[in-house]
């Protein structure tokens, strides 16, 4: 595959723009704002865009009512802060909606569960255009539909900084939860989903570029392999997590919780030609994105060696006695995302 052309990486000073159907008034300075719409007007608009839900009682009351046929509920919460987890000049509100839902629902899949409902808190400045929240709700709805669930409730509050909190709920369907603590020496380590793409997209945006679009969009809208979580549980996965902070860092959590060492072989990673092209253009070894880049929300799991894995899963290493993460025979310290790195 030929490398990217100079034009593909030509930086632009223009802020990112993405059409939202025929209505792009969230881009205009005189757009109607959240403050002008009011709290309850905002809630009504939001609910109207969320679509149907299988909840016993969905949005609009004091709380949602969900069935829990398994008798257990998985719950996970994630937060996104404007300027830290997303930038409005880099991502459309629809992108942000997709990303907010995806990162929470991926945690449900990582436990071997299926999502049953999503709760959303939107903390918004009063001057945020109301059409931004409309498009954000569309992204939430689309990602939840893709994952087989829906938004069932939430809250809106006023805030100086646009902040989004998403709680995903899930069902284990009678199976045991797959935690981080079950890996055993002799297991294989396997991955489902993409690695390094989101980090590459972030690097492209950080250099002031807007293409290649397939790489940039991987950062704007992650694509977690939701169905592979329950599948891994059915196959007998001994430990699992989603790759949100970087493969080495997240596997380090499994190694620590399980009391084992995890050994990876870089030759076993599939690095797409497009990722190599971007790395070449930016002067970055794409393996660094694969090992330390987060926010792809791929699933990494350990399985007994005798397990026959489907094509969606590829083996990248093994579990051994010891501790920590080893890559190509060398101990590897995590270099993924940390909100509060020591000394900083």
Question: Any idea what the CATH number is for the domain that residue 216 is in?
Answer: 3.90.650.10
316: tokens are 């990248």
Same structural domain, 165 and 43: yes
Residue 17 lies in a domain: no
Mean pLDDT on 211-223: 96
Same structural domain, 125 and 254: no
Same structural domain, 101 and 234: no
Question: What is the band of 15 on the pLDDT scale with cuts at 50, 70, 90?
Answer: very low
Q: 3-state DSSP call for residue 206?
A: helix
Residue 267 lies in a domain: yes
Same structural domain, 162 and 251: no
Q: 3-state DSSP call for residue 31?
A: coil
Same structural domain, 42 and 167: yes
Check residue 53 and give its pLDDT: 82
Cis peptide before 281 (omega within 30 of 0): no
> Does residue 169 surpass a pLDDT of 90?
yes
Same structural domain, 236 and 300: yes
Domain region containing 160 = 32-171
Same structural domain, 287 and 205: yes
Residue 5 lies in a domain: no
Last residue of a domain, one of 122, 144, 171: 171
Check residue 51 and give its pLDDT: 79
Same structural domain, 151 and 198: no
Residue 241 lies in a domain: yes
Confirm if 331 and 279 have CB atoms less than 8 A apart.
Answer: no
* Closest C-alpha to 97, from 36, 164, 19: 164
202 versus 53: the higher-pLDDT residue is 202
Same structural domain, 135 and 264: no
Residue 82 to residue 161: CA distance in whole angstroms: 7
Mean pLDDT on 289-306: 96
Residue 10 lies in a domain: no
Residue 94 to residue 145: CA distance in whole angstroms: 14
Check residue 42 and give its pLDDT: 79
Residue 312 to residue 314: CA distance in whole angstroms: 7
Residue 25 lies in a domain: no
Residue 102 lies in a domain: yes
Last residue of a domain, one of 109, 139, 171: 171
DSSP 68-106: -TTS--EEEEEEEEBTTTB-TTTS-HHHHHHHHHHHHHH
Question: What is the band of 6 on the pLDDT scale with cuts at 50, 70, 90?
Answer: very low
Last residue of a domain, one of 105, 137, 171: 171
Same structural domain, 127 and 249: no
Same structural domain, 166 and 200: no
Residue 268 lies in a domain: yes
Question: Any idea what the CATH number is for the domain that residue 147 is in?
Answer: 3.30.1330.10
Residue 305 to residue 317: CA distance in whole angstroms: 11
List pLDDT tens digits, range 182-214: 999 999 999 999 999 999 999 999 999 999 999
List pLDDT tens digits, range 301-344: 999 999 999 999 999 999 999 999 999 999 988 665 455 455 55
Total domains, the chain: 2
Residue 228 to residue 241: CA distance in whole angstroms: 12
Same structural domain, 74 and 161: yes
């Amino acid at each position: 595959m030929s490398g990217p052309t100079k034009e593909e990486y030509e930086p632009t000073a223009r802020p990112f723009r993405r059409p939202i159907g025929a209505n792009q008034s969230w881009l205009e300075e005189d757009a109607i704002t959240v403050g002008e719409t009011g709290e309850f007007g905002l809630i009504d608009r939001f609910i109207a865009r969320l679509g149907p839900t299988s909840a016993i009682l969905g949005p609009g009351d004091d709380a949602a009512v969900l069935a829990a046929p398994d008798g257990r509920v998985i719950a996970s919460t994630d937060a996104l802060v404007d300027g830290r987890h997303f930038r409005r000049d880099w991502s459309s509100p629809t992108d942000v909606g997709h990303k907010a839902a995806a990162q929470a629902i991926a945690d449900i899949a990582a436990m071997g569960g299926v999502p049953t409902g999503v709760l959303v808190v939107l903390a918004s400045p009063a001057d945020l255009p109301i059409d931004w929240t409309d498009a954000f709700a569309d992204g939430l709805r689309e990602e939840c539909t893709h994952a087989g669930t829906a938004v069932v409730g939430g809250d809106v509050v006023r805030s100086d900084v646009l902040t989004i909190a998403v709680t995903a709920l899930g069902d284990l369907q009678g199976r045991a939860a797959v935690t981080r603590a079950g890996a055993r020496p002799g297991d294989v380590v396997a991955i489902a989903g993409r690695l390094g793409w989101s980090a590459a997209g972030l690097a492209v945006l950080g250099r002031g570029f807007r293409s290649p679009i397939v790489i940039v969009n991987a950062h704007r809208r992650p694509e977690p392999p939701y169905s592979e979580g329950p599948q891994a549980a059915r196959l007998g996965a001994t430990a699992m997590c989603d790759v949100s902070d970087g493969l080495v860092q997240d596997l380090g959590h499994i190694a620590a919780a399980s009391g084992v060492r995890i050994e990876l072989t870089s030759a076993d990673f599939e690095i797409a030609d497009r990722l190599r092209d971007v790395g070449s253009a930016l002067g970055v070894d794409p393996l660094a994105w694969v090992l330390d880049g987060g926010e792809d929300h791929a699933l990494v799991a350990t399985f007994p060696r005798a397990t026959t894995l489907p094509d969606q899963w590829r083996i990248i290493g093994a579990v051994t006695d010891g501790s920590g993460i080893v890559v190509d025979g060398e101990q590897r310290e995590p270099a993924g995302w940390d909100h509060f790195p020591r000394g900083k």
